[in-house]
Every structure is written in structure tokens, then in C-alpha cells.
Structure 1
Amino acid sequence: MSKHYNKSITPVDEYKFHLCNELEVMAKEELRETNEMRKHAIKAMREWIMKSDRILITRMDAKYLLRFLRFRKFSVPMAMEALERYLVIKQGKYGMGWLDNLDYDKPSILKLIDDGFVFFLPQRDFMGRKIIFYRPGVADPKSPSVGYDVLILLSLVYELVLEDEENQIRGVIHLADAQNIRMPHFTVFSPQYSFRVGKNTEKTLALRHKAFHIVNVHKSINLISDFIMSHMGEKLRKRTHMYSSFDDFKAIERKNLPLEYGGTTSMRTMIESLKKELADNQKISMLLNQTRVNVDKYPKAVLEGSVKSLKYLLNSSEIYEKFKNQDIYGLQGSFRKLEID
């Protein structure tokens, strides 16, 4: 397989399924994954990468390609699209500064970690899914780098999650404590930036989101919450649930929550565990900073993260005809314009 090395930043390996029988059955029933399908799909993706004049360098190890194949239930064209879109956004306007800078070792990001902005619950849910716990209210919206710091940290956390194949198959649960979130938190990025990043990552972040639970939503941000919900995809919207307090939240056993929320393990223990995982995974995360596409091969709309451009496959000629003469600079990010772009 040495022919693949000139575009791969990781070893190009032969894959052998090593997970338990339960996950093998789940992968087949939910994702259409079989030994034959997996072998064919990985081979097809590698050959496509090698032939592409747009993709210059990426990871080509089997586990990495499988995250996109499982995300798209082994539709090879859609997995290719998700991978390429991910690589493109890293070098486009809305990914530069965070997706191309996956390094947590800076004081402002370490403070977010130490303050408990995000961490993993030690126990999975009743269906074996990993639970990511968020406390966005601890972030200081006045900090000049808070926006990029949050995006870098979350990207690193999701990379950790996706390095575990069990999470690729089972999916994840998101649980957020919205305590102390107020209007200033929503002004860190412009509406246009938030909307485009959200829509692009929805298409490219290869996580199987099984549920979003948001607790302690203050009435002062209900209008913004409703607006965000209205712009989610239908599937994500149906999987999002809001609660006024943790007393009303029953989806996860109370004993599995942090000690400070009625559980048995302290937040500090969970935070230190995350820090160790980030350190252990840093070499792989830093490798991702090396991925490259030929930006000259894409229409400006694609590099700008235009939501309209997401309707067209990058492998089709239609997108290049549609946007070849279109200038999308100058949008002001109003709510009205967000709805049409």
C-alpha cells in the first residue's frame, strides 16, 4: 500500500474488526456495515483520494475513513463529501483559526478546561453511548479569544470521541447545563458566522448525535433558543430536549452525573481525566493540522462556507457551474439573510 503514503499523514493499514459482537450486529443493522462492504468502501475512498486533484494530504488510515463511512451509513459518495467538506472548511474562511489549529496547550484554553467547560461523564448511558457534559456558562464572553478557544476545545473533544470506534457506531449524547448563559454569550460571533459554522459542521462533523439535553435554560434566552432550534435540521431538532432544572431531567441516572449535580464522581476528577486524554491524543490531533486541499480548485462560495453551496456535491460539476461567477462577500449576517443563505 506504499502508493498511498504520498498523500497520507498516517500509516495506510489493513483493517480488521476488533469490537464486540454487540457492536458488530449494531453496525450491520444500523449502518449497513459488513466485512465486504467495509473493505470495498475503504478501498474506494483511498482510490478516490489518490485520484483527486483537490485533496493534497489527509489521514488515510482505516479508522479515520470509517468515521465518515459510518456517519453516512456506508454511502461512499456521501462519506467522500463529508470528508472533503471537513478538509475544505479547515482552510476556508470559517475554519481558519480553529480547525487548522488543534492545540489545547495555551493558557486561555486550559482555563476553559479547568473551569469545567466540557468533560466526559465516566459512565455511558443505558444504551452504551458516551455522554459529553457541557457548562458553557463558565466561559467569559468578554475574553478576546473565547470564541476560537471554545471552537478549538470542542474540536479536540470531538476528535477524542471519534478516535474510539465504539463511539463511531453507538453515537453520543450531549448534556448541557445552561446555568449562567446570558445574552453576551450569544454575541461572541456574529449571527452569520454562527449559522454558517453550525450548518457546515452539521454536514462534516462525523458524530452520530443521538440526543441533545439542555438543562437550566433561562427564560431570558428563550427567543434565541427558539431561533437556533428553527435552523436545525429536522432530525437534530427532534433529538433536542430542554428542561427547566435537573429535577426534571430523567434521561440519565442521577448517580452518573457529577458529584456537584447529585452524582458520585466529582467534576474535578472528570476534568483531570479529560486533560489526560487530550495529552495522550495530542500527537494525532496535531497531525490533523497538516491536512491540505488545493483551495484554488473550489468556488469562492464553498470556501466562504455558503449554506447554499452545501446543497451540491463537491464531486459534481454542478456546484462549479453554479458558483463559478458568484461573489458572496459582503453579507451582513442579518437574520433575514441567514434564512436564504
Structure 2
Amino acid sequence: MFECFLEIGFEAELNTKEDPELMEIAYEQCKENVATRATAITELRKMIFARGECHPLRTDDEYLLRFLRAREFIVPRAHKLMVRYCTFREQNKHLYEGVDLWGLVKVKDAYEGTMLDRPDTGRLSVFRFGRWDPNEFPVEDLVRAGMAMTEIGLRQPKLQILAGTVIVDLEGISYRHVATLTPTVAYQIVCLMGVAIPGRIKGVHIINYSWILNTFFYLFKKFIPQEAWQYIHFHGSDLKSLHKHLDLEVLPERYGGTYRGVSSFGIWLNKIKKYRDEQFDREMKQLGYVIKE
């Protein structure tokens, strides 16, 4: 029964239809007012063309909604995010242009996620970089996988509204991992966690770290905006501290929770491949990815 539930969840990952039942939550969390939404979209579109600071791939209503929701429907902030997103893509074409989307399955369980999306936590993602063997593939592939995961996830209006929560589990991190991290890679990871993408992060919870965190985190902290620090929490190996922020029902059993529906990035991407449609292929190709059969 549980496997059947998971399969339904995987199939729903391709759903790009608006859910009227989420509109109340959209108002609470994104300041989205159905009565004034069209006006905000039109204003953002006009601002994009009038200022000419970026040249987005799309300017249709559905696409612009992502940026408005990510910045509480404050049009100038949504436009600033759009410019930042387009600039990031322009400066990092190697992260998506010509990238074999299905080939990113190699990342396996360096990323994990749950599909129990709730208003309090949104989508819970777990970064387990210690599970990655630097001898198998370069750190850039981790970033490519993170970018692809983000682009695919943000196709869902549900995730645009509910946002996400991240656990960064540093168990197993060694100097071999830290040695691969350059300031450029650190900047890219920070950008993909909300700085330069049309998505919101409710919280970042860093666990299972040791003294090596000082080296690891030094690379990241100069790129993290000042206002973002209120959402970053350090728990060490204290799961009780983590439990004060996240409900046990959304946490994997590994972290003292009760949720069993955790899937690795590799499994998730294979399910996306299984259930995708022509619209998905078209949009991902427009983003620059190679879609092989």
C-alpha cells in the first residue's frame, strides 16, 4: 500500500496545474491575492521589457508567477530575482547547457527527499554530501543535479507555494570532499538554495558536523545574504535540537522521525523519466538540457 502511495506521488511530480485548494495558503505564505494577481503579473512583464536588464526564456503568466510567489508578490523584488536568475544562468551555462538530464542519476543518494509536502515544512530535502565519492564524478555534477532538481521541482505550483526545507547532513564529510569545494562552487550552491532561483526556503538545518565544518562553511558564509541567517540552524549531532524545528512526521527515521517515504535523487529522477510528458521534454530542452530516450 505504501509503495502504491509513493508511486502516485512520483507521478504527481509532473503536475503543473494550479490547485484552487492551495489559494488560502498562497495568500498566507506568498501574499498572493487572486483578485490582484493578474495585475501583478502584467506589471512584472512590463518591468522586464521596460528595463531590459534580463532576457528570460519565457514571460507567460505561469512562469512569472514563480518569481512573484518567491518574493511575496512585491513586483520590484520579483524583477530583481528574475535578473539575478537570468544572470546566474548566463554565467553558468556549463551547469545545464548540453547536460544529459538522465545521466545525472549518477548522483544517487547524495540528495534525498520526501514527498510529504506540508504548509509548515514544504518539501523536505536532505543533502548528504558525505555519501558522494569524489573519485566517481566531479563536484560540478552535484551542482548540476541540484540545479536540475530545482528546475523540475519549481514546475509544480504546489512547491512554488509551499516552499522547501533543507537538512544538510555532513556525516562522512572529509578533507577529500572539502578539497573539491572552490568559492565558485560554494557560490553556485548558495544561489540554488534561494538566492538566485524562484523558490523559497523555510529553513536550513545543518547536522552531524565536527571541527571540519569551519573549513567547509567558511567558503559559504560570505555568499549568504544577511537576511538569510535567521533561517539557518546548527544542531551538531543533537537530534532533539532538530526536533524542536521539524515535526517527527516529516523526518526520516534516520533522524528520529516516522516518515518512511524517503527517495534518493537517483530513484526520483528515474521516476521523472518514467512519467514525463511532451510538455516536460519541451520545457527542459528549452532550459538547455539534453533529453535522451
Fold-level similarity (TM above 0.5): yes
How far has the Cα of 1:271 moved from its partner? Answer: 5.0
**CA contact 1:90–1:100 (8 Å) conserved in 2:** no
Question: Match for residue 165 of structure 1?
Answer: 157
d(CA) in 1 for partners of 2:73, 2:112: 30
Q: Which amino acid aligns with 1:180?
A: G
Q: 1:264 to 1:100 in 2, by over 3 A?
A: same
Q: 1:228 to 1:194 in 2, by over 3 A?
A: same
**Structure 1 position 252 matched with structure 2 position 246:** yes
- 1:98-137 to structure 2, matched below 5 A, reads 98-101=95-98, 103-106=100-103, 109-113=104-108, 116-125=109-118, 127=120, 129-137=122-130
Q: Which amino acid aligns with 1:134?
A: F
- 1:1-341 to structure 2, matched below 5 A, reads 18-20=19-21, 23-49=22-48, 55=54, 58-92=57-91, 95-101=92-98, 103-106=100-103, 109-113=104-108, 116-125=109-118, 127=120, 129-143=122-136, 145-191=137-183, 193-194=184-185, 196-197=187-188, 201=192, 202-225=194-217, 228-229=220-221, 231-245=223-237, 247-248=239-240, 249-250=242-243, 251-254=245-248, 256-261=250-255, 263=258, 265=260, 267=262, 272-277=267-272, 280=276, 281-289=280-288
TM-score, normalising length: structure 2: 0.76
How far has the Cα of 1:261 moved from its partner? Answer: 5.0
d(CA) in 1 for partners of 2:119, 2:52: 45
Give a deviation string over 1:269-309, Cα, whole Å, max 9, x none: 7852443136524543222128xxxxxxxxxxxxxxxxxxx
Q: Which amino acid aligns with 1:110?
A: V
Which stretch shows the higher mean deviation, 193-202 or 62-71?
Answer: 193-202
d(CA) in 1 for partners of 2:255, 2:197: 29
Q: 1:229 to 1:40 in 2, by over 3 A?
A: same
Name the SS of the counterpart of 1:163 in structure 2: coil
**CA contact 2:204–2:231 (8 Å) conserved in 1:** yes
Name the SS of the counterpart of 1:122 in structure 2: coil
Determine what percentage of the aligned residue pairs are the same residue: 21
How far has the Cα of 1:110 moved from its partner? Answer: 1.7
TM-score, normalising length: structure 1: 0.66
How far has the Cα of 1:132 moved from its partner? Answer: 1.0
How far has the Cα of 1:223 moved from its partner? Answer: 4.4
Q: 1:37 to 1:131 in 2, by over 3 A?
A: same
Q: 1:82 to 1:48 in 2, by over 3 A?
A: same
Q: 1:278 to 1:207 in 2, by over 3 A?
A: farther
The CA RMSD measured in Å over matched residues stands at 3.1
Give a deviation string over 1:34-73, Cα, whole Å, max 9, x none: 2343101222333444566665561223222111111122
**CA contact 2:112–2:263 (8 Å) conserved in 1:** no
d(CA) in 2 for partners of 1:35, 1:253: 31
**CA contact 2:102–2:269 (8 Å) conserved in 1:** no
Q: Which amino acid aligns with 2:246?
A: I
**CA contact 2:110–2:265 (8 Å) conserved in 1:** no
d(CA) in 2 for partners of 1:186, 1:234: 24
Name the SS of the counterpart of 1:74 in structure 2: coil
Q: 1:265 to 1:37 in 2, by over 3 A?
A: same
d(CA) in 1 for partners of 2:149, 2:179: 23
Name the SS of the counterpart of 2:237 in structure 1: coil
How far has the Cα of 1:215 moved from its partner? Answer: 1.5
Aligned residues: 265
Q: 1:264 to 1:76 in 2, by over 3 A?
A: closer
How far has the Cα of 1:119 moved from its partner? Answer: 2.5
Which stretch shows the higher mean deviation, 227-236 or 83-92?
Answer: 227-236
**CA contact 2:252–2:262 (8 Å) conserved in 1:** yes
Which stretch shows the higher mean deviation, 130-139 or 116-125?
Answer: 116-125
Name the SS of the counterpart of 1:100 in structure 2: coil
